[in-house]
Amino acid sequence: MRKPWLCSVIFNLFFKPKDRIGRLLEKETIENALINNHGILEHIDLSDNKIINDGSYVASVGFFDGVHIGHRHLIKQVKEEARRLNLPSAIITFPIHPRKVLQKDYQPALLCGYEEKLGQLAATQIDCCISLPFTYDLSLLSAKEFMQKVLKNDIGVHTLFVGYDHRFGHNREEGFNEYEKHGKEMGMRVIKASEWHIEGENVSSTKIRSLLKEGEILKANTLLSYNYTLSGKIVEGYRVGRTIGFPTANIRSWERYKVVPALGVYAVLVHVRDVIYEGMLYIGTRPTLHNDPGISVEVNIFDFNADLYNQSLTVEFIDFIRSDRKFDSLEKLVEQIHEDKRSVKKRLQQERV
C-alpha cells in the first residue's frame, strides 16, 4: 500500500477583509458561481439603481443565509406557482446582512458568503436572483412603502411569497395580514408559504448555526440539505507542522464572518483544483504547542503531494470525530493525530458505502 503524504492546512481566521462590498459583486466571480451550479438563468444587480418593472416575477424576499432545507421548501412553492402562471421565478436577496449595514460594528455569523449563496440558489434551479443592496434609507421604509416602491415599482413583482415567520418593513412592525392587505391595494398577489418541519421542529439558520457551534455536523448537514463547507486561499504560515512530520500551510478564509464549527477533529472531503481528496480537519487553539492564542483550522489531506501555496480549496464537513484537548507532551499529540487519522478513514469509508 502506498504511504499517504499528509498536508496540514491551517485556516487563519484573522485576515484582511475585502475592501468594499463591490468586490463581492465582481462580474467574473458572480458568473462563475452561476456557471458552476447550472440553475440560475439570470442574476440582476440593483446596486446601480436599476429598475426592472416588467410586472412578471413570482418572488420571495429575504436574506436566505445558508439556503437551507426550509428555504428550499419556500423556493419550491415559488417555482411551482411561477410554472402555473407561466412567469419567471425569482429570489430577491441582499449581498450584505441588513443589520451589518445599520450597525457597523456588528459581526454576523454566516452560514455562507454571498457568492456561495448564489451557488446554492443556482442549485435550486430558481430562474433569477435579484441582488438588492440594503441601505439605511431602505430600512426606513414601511412594509407598504417597500412593497410599492421597491417590489412593485422597481422590480415588478406579480406574486409575493412570504415565509411563514418572515417580517419586513421598518422595525418589522407588520405581519402577513397587513402584507396581504397592502398587496390587494396595489395589485400584487401575496401568498403565505407553508412551514417545513423536521422531527416536529422548524428549520432555521439560527438553529443550524447553533448545531455547528456544538459540533453537531450530521444534524446541521441534514437541515442544510448539503454538507457544510469552509473555503479559502492558502498563504504562508509558521511552518511548525514540519517539525512534527506534518507540513503545514495557512488558509486565509474568503468569508470573514463564516461560522466556524466547534473545536475538535472532523472527517472531511477536501476540494483542490476540481479534485476531491479525503482529509482530517482540526479546529482549535493548539493548546499543546502554545504558540498562538487564536483559533486554527488545520486540514490533513490524504494521498496528496503538491505545492498548495496561493491556491484555493474547500473543506466539506462529513462528521465530528472528537473534541479538542491538551496533551502532556508533543509525542502524545502525534500519537493521537495518527489515531485520529484511523478514525477519520474509517468514517469516510462508511460514507462511501
CATH of the domain at 98: 3.40.50.620
Q: Summarize pLDDT for 50-100 with one digit per residue, the tens.
A: 777 666 899 999 999 999 999 999 999 999 999 999 999 999 999 999 888
Q: Which of 81, 255, 278, 298 is catalytic?
A: 298
Residues 6+ apart with CB under 8 A from 306: 272
All three cell numbers of 328, joined, read 502532556
Query: Residue 36: is its pLDDT beyond 90?
Result: no
83 vs 190: CA distance, rounded Å: 17
Task: Tell me, yes or no, whether 221 lies in a domain.
Answer: no
Task: Tell me, yes or no, whether 210 lies in a domain.
Answer: no
All three cell numbers of 12, joined, read 487563519
Q: Which residue, of 168, 202, 236, is where some domain finishes?
A: 202
Residue 53: predicted pLDDT: 67
81 catalytic residue (yes or no): no
Task: Tell me, yes or no, whether 193 lies in a domain.
Answer: yes
Q: Summarize pLDDT for 139-162 with one digit per residue, the tens.
A: 999 999 999 999 999 999 999 999
Residue 2: predicted pLDDT: 31
What are the distances in angstroms from CA 322 to CA 103, 119, 221, 223, 294? 37, 31, 18, 22, 20
23 vs 19: CA distance, rounded Å: 7
Could you give phi then psi for residue 234, rounded to 5 degrees? -85, 130
Indicate whether 130 and 61 sit together in one domain. yes
Indicate whether 269 and 327 sit together in one domain. yes
145 burial level (CB within 10 Å; 0-12, 13-18, 19+): middle
Indicate whether 98 and 191 sit together in one domain. yes
Task: Tell me, yes or no, whether 212 lies in a domain.
Answer: no
Q: Summarize pLDDT for 251-310 with one digit per residue, the tens.
A: 778 888 999 999 999 999 999 988 999 999 999 888 888 766 788 888 888 888 788 888
Which of helix, strand or coil describes residue 260?
coil
Which of helix, strand or coil describes residue 281?
strand
Range of the domain at 77: 37-202
CA angle at 222 for the pair 286 and 76, rounded to the nearest 5°? 135
Tell me which long-range contacts 334-340 makes (C-beta under 8 A, separation of at least 24). 334/244, 334/245, 337/246, 337/300, 340/265, 340/280, 340/282
249 compared with 222, residue with greater pLDDT: 222
Amino acid at the residue 313: L
Indicate whether 67 and 110 sit together in one domain. yes
Residue with grid cell 407561466, as numbered in its chain: 86
Task: Tell me, yes or no, whether 183 lies in a domain.
Answer: yes
User: Total structural domains in the chain?
Assistant: 2
All three cell numbers of 52, joined, read 426592472
Indicate whether 181 and 283 sit together in one domain. no
The pLDDT-based confidence of 111 (bands split at 50, 70, 90) is: very high
Residue 162: predicted pLDDT: 95
Amino acid at the residue 149: K
Task: Tell me, yes or no, whether 30 lies in a domain.
Answer: no
Task: Tell me, yes or no, whether 1 lies in a domain.
Answer: no
Taking the model in full, what pTM does it have? Answer: 0.86
251 compared with 17, residue with greater pLDDT: 251
All three cell numbers of 53, joined, read 418593472
Indicate whether 260 and 131 sit together in one domain. no
Helical spans, DSSP H, in 187-277 = 205-213, 217-224
